[in-house]
Amino acid sequence: MARGRIRAKLRRSSLYTFGCYRPHLDEAEEPHLFQGPGYSRTVYCNQPHLHQTKPLKYSSNYISTTKYNVITFLPKAIFEQFRRVANVYFLLAAILSFSPIAPFSAISMVAPLALVLGISMAKEALEDWRRFVQDMKVNLSKTSVLKKDGLFGYKPWMKIRVGDVVKVVKDQFFPADLLLLSSSYEDGICYVETMNLDGETNLKVKRALEVTLPLDDDVAFKDFTGTIRCEDPNPNLYTFVGNLEYDRQVYPLDPGQILLRDSKLRNTGYVYGVVIFTGQDSKVMQNATKSPSKRSRIEKQMDRIIYILFSLLVLISLISSIGFTVKTKYQMPDWWYLQAPDDQNLYNPYKPTLSAIYHLVTALILYGYLIPISLYVSIEAVKFLQALFINQDIHMYDEESGTPAQARTSNLNEELGQISTILSDKTGTLTCNQMDFLKCSIAGTAYGKRASDVELAAAKQMAMDLDGQEPQTSNNPIPSNGGHVLQENGGHGFGVSEIELETVVTSRDEKDHRPVIKGFSFEDSRLMNGNWSKEPNADIILLFFRIIALCHTAIPEVNEETGSFNYEAESPDEGAFLVAAREFGFEFCKRTQSSIFIRERGPSFQESIERKFKILNLLDFTSKRKRMSVIVRDEYGQILLLCKGADSIIFDRLSKSGRMFEEATTKHLNEYGEVGLRTLALAYRKLEEAEYSAWNEEFHKAKTSISADREAMLERVSDLMERDLMLVGATAVEDKLQKGVPQCIDKLAQAGLKIWVLTGDKMETAINIGYACSLLRQGMKQICITTMNSDMLGQDSKEAVKENILMQITNASQMVKLEKDPHAAFAIIIDGKTLTYALEDDMKNQFLKLAVDCASVICCRVSPMQKALITRLVKEGTGKTTLAIGDGANDVGMIQEADIGVGISGAEGMQVGNISDSLLFFHDKAVKVFG
């Protein structure tokens, strides 16, 4: 991999055949014709001084996530303090203390109030100062910017202006929204990691316009000028419309050329870009919502108590005033030792009503200590010290990343003890989002004997059920020879009577002290160390290994410490496949412009042979295709199509002769899915030279088409080739659970907390992950609510779907209500499509009532918006304290809706860590604070 300013020679356009084809200049799209408002932004490239005056006076690149600034701190902080009823009372009492009717000196009333407000505001200022320091670390980060003399020099991010040309090197974040001009690759592509924006860990491919590719070094930008006309700032991360006027020509721009702030450059030596949006105008800041001002329930309860105390105070003062009125009117004239009326008319027998009013005010001040101002001082001090304890808790410190827990605010500390419902994301929160190659099925034979987390959790639960007592919990993994396999005999999940426990027989030679390999947890001596060559279907096993080593878009990088290769892949699954291929003896070691090189070890596993495979075409993976294929020519001239994808897609494309292992592979895939593993099917096809040449000609025509349906044509032509496949086998990778999660959830359940898991996984996977993390337990009765099969096109069918869902909810509610066993526990599993209807106004209350009666709730295939809506429903519907936990930007809405939000520094980025001051922000061990 090229680093620094060395030009990488690898042209990637031959790989990304779908999205990355660049037509010739004479075939290019027409420039965008802007109409209406929203497209008024003009950027003069390399001329930032032109944007300093109106109407082009754009915002600076300085960003702030603080709650206050120097000007707004006093009014905002004072407003926050006087949201407390007690402070309002003390303020009124302090004002009245300056009057002659006050029984105390003014200082005795003003000083306590000033002390309380001062301490509270000082705490707010300190917490906001910490946020300011974090902001300044970002604002003072430096990047290389083109200066007036034509040379690049470093500038802090906060001084970058619209129109600046910047250079970003590998593994750096983009300081603003940029238009990509060129990169270290000859064809101007670069790889971008966007997990801080959208929570996705896979890399995105961006490509520069062909006309700007010659701008490939620092000197080339000395006289560079151009004009960008584009859309105004908006929060849409995946859209961009604009034109580049350069060299007397106009070229259209699209999202493929835009590099967004807070995304990271990966696998690319460097890129050059021109700044389009800065600071608050950047898309990531446009997506930043103002956090709600959260107050704890104890604070709100204290306000209610203050109302009661104040009412009691008024009652006491009224009684005192009435007595004083009677005394003043009827008895005071006979008191010769008093001068009545006095000089100030505070007691006047002839105006008893006025005297009563004066006395009422005096009594309110005199008896005012019934409302304890010192209580607020104590509570503020305790909250502040608790936040310090959280920040310094050694049990919530992550040694691997050096990240401590951070209490972003101390206003919500006491809420942690009041939680009734926990709503959690799954990927990256309950699981590590780190894929491990665990099992595989090749030629109808299952390989891999290590148990998954789901199997271990179910085996523990079964052991507990059989022994009648809870087994000792331990963070140490169970040895593979003591694991168990669970077999499901129908239905979702594992029923009490549906489980058979079998001992997994693992060979003794695998109990060696082999070092842990990240991404590879496979154990089976039949395939390791070249033993696969002794298996009955060795030729198919060889083909299986070559498919996982060749069918990908990853890039190898030499690890200077170990000498082995690290793989930068678009997805964690792909990386796990390459690590597995390496361990099996098929190491992907090099990629050139048109070839892939694999080091294959022979049966002896000692010598290695480097084999070259020429890449002819690569049909990329998309969410619509659900498959990926690569067409290669081996050393013997044989053309092969290698394909991997979802089993339902692959099985539909098998030839009659290619279904030999379909039945056995389907059985293995079902078993893998039941134990929470992610599966893919692998297949291949041999191609004749004439057949491939005819297809490639059609494919080239579709690729070079400039019509609007070019993507559809590519899909159709690709589909023609991905037919008549021969099934090879299937893979199963595991997304490992975070350490301690099952034990933590078990303790939370014992404490009576309701736990909701909101995930994007399919229902079967979510159910089995539920068993793995103790969210679902043996003996717990499951209620699965799904939509019936319907096209949902007409109004009638929608009404029928709603009626069906309502009937399911009603029947389930009746079942829960009629349950006679007081110890019975229920769990709801519902998918996102069903939630669309269940969250509507006419049904959400029935759904919530059912969910509240259940111990666990799992929501599958939910969108970020649905996560927020579910959280709002639980919070407002139950009136109890809710806690939301997540690690990705897709969890932001859920976290902000909950009473308490916990952001985790996980594999999906740090976006949630910077949402607002109303969060508690921990690293991935924070779950232990609740355990």
What count of Cα atoms within 13 Å lies in the side-chain half-sphere of residue 528?
15
One DSSP character per residue, 556-567 reads EEE-TTTSSEEE
Give the integer Cα–Cα distance in Å for 556 and 553. 10
Calpha distance 208→210 (Å, rounded): 6
Asked if residue 218 belongs to a known ligand binding site, the reply is no
Was 621 annotated as part of a binding site? yes
Is 917 part of the annotated catalytic residue set? no
Bridge partners, 447 (sequence order): 440
Residue 761 labeled ligand binder: yes
Q: What is the DSSP letter of 331?
A: I
Quote the CA–CA distance of 605 and 370 in Å, as a whole number.
85
Q: Which 3-state string (H, E, C) describes 80-92? A: HHCCCHHHHHHHH
Q: Is 426 assigned to a binding site?
A: yes
841 assigned ligand-binding residue:
no
Query: Distance (Å, rounded) from C-alpha 504 to C-alpha 889?
Result: 41
- Residue ranges of alpha helices (H) inside 448-566 are 453-467, 538-550
In degrees, rounded to 5, the angle at the alpha carbon of residue 716 between the alpha carbons of residues 712 and 722 is 140
Write the DSSP assignment of 507-522 as a string of letters: -GGG-S-PPPBTTB--
Cα gap 653→630, rounded to integer Å:
16
Is 861 marked within a binding site?
yes
Q: Are 337 and 343 in contact (CB under 8 A)?
A: no
- Can you say whether residue 348 is alpha, beta or left, with left for phi > 0 and alpha for psi between -120 and 50 degrees? beta
Neighbours of 545 (CB within 10 A): 22
Cis amide bond preceding 55, omega within 30? yes
Tokens encoding 302: 């204290």
Q: Are 726 and 537 in contact (CB under 8 A)?
A: no
Please tell me whether 890 is known to bind a ligand. Answer: yes
Q: Tell me if 590 is assigned to a ligand binding site.
A: no
Task: Confirm or deny that 867 is annotated as ligand binding.
Answer: yes
Report how far residue 164's alpha carbon sits from residue 160's, in angstroms, rounded to the nearest whole number.
7
Beta strands in 186-338 (DSSP E): 189-193, 203-207, 226-230, 242-246, 249-253, 258-259, 264-266, 270-277
Query: 786-804 in b/e burial notation, b at 16+ Cβ within 10 A?
Result: ebeeeeeeeeeeeeebbeb
How far is the CA of 199 from the CAs of 137, 400, 921, in angstroms?
23, 21, 17
- CA-based nearest residue to 429, from 884, 866, 929, 914: 884
709 is in an annotated binding site: no
d(CA 198, CA 889): 5
d(CA 444, CA 726): 13
Between CA 192 and CA 180 the distance in angstroms is 11
Name residues whose C-beta falls within 8 Å of residue 148's C-beta, 6 or more positions apart in sequence.
Answer: none
Distance CA 450, CA 443 (A): 20
Selected catalytic residue, list 425, 436, 647, 899:
425
760 assigned binding-site residue: yes
Q: At 240, phi and psi to the nearest 5?
A: -165, 135
Which of 295, 374, 344, 384 lies closest to 86 in space, CA to CA?
374
Question: Which of 151, 144, 156, 142 minimizes the C-alpha distance to 221?
Answer: 151
868, 874 contact by CB (below 8 A): no
How distant is the alpha carbon of residue 542 from its chain centre?
38
Contact between 227 and 245 under an 8 Å Cβ cutoff? The reply is yes
Find where tokens 């070691």 sit.
589
Query: What whole-number distance in Å separates Cα of residue 387 and Cα of residue 405?
Result: 10
Write out the catalytic residue numbers.
425
Q: Which residues make up each annotated binding site for ATP?
A: 425-427, 574, 621, 644, 678, 759-761, 861, 867, 890-891
Q: Which residues make up each annotated binding site for Mg(2+)?
A: 425, 427, 887, 891
Q: Which residues make up each annotated binding site?
A: 425-427, 574, 621, 644, 678, 759-761, 861, 867, 887, 890-891
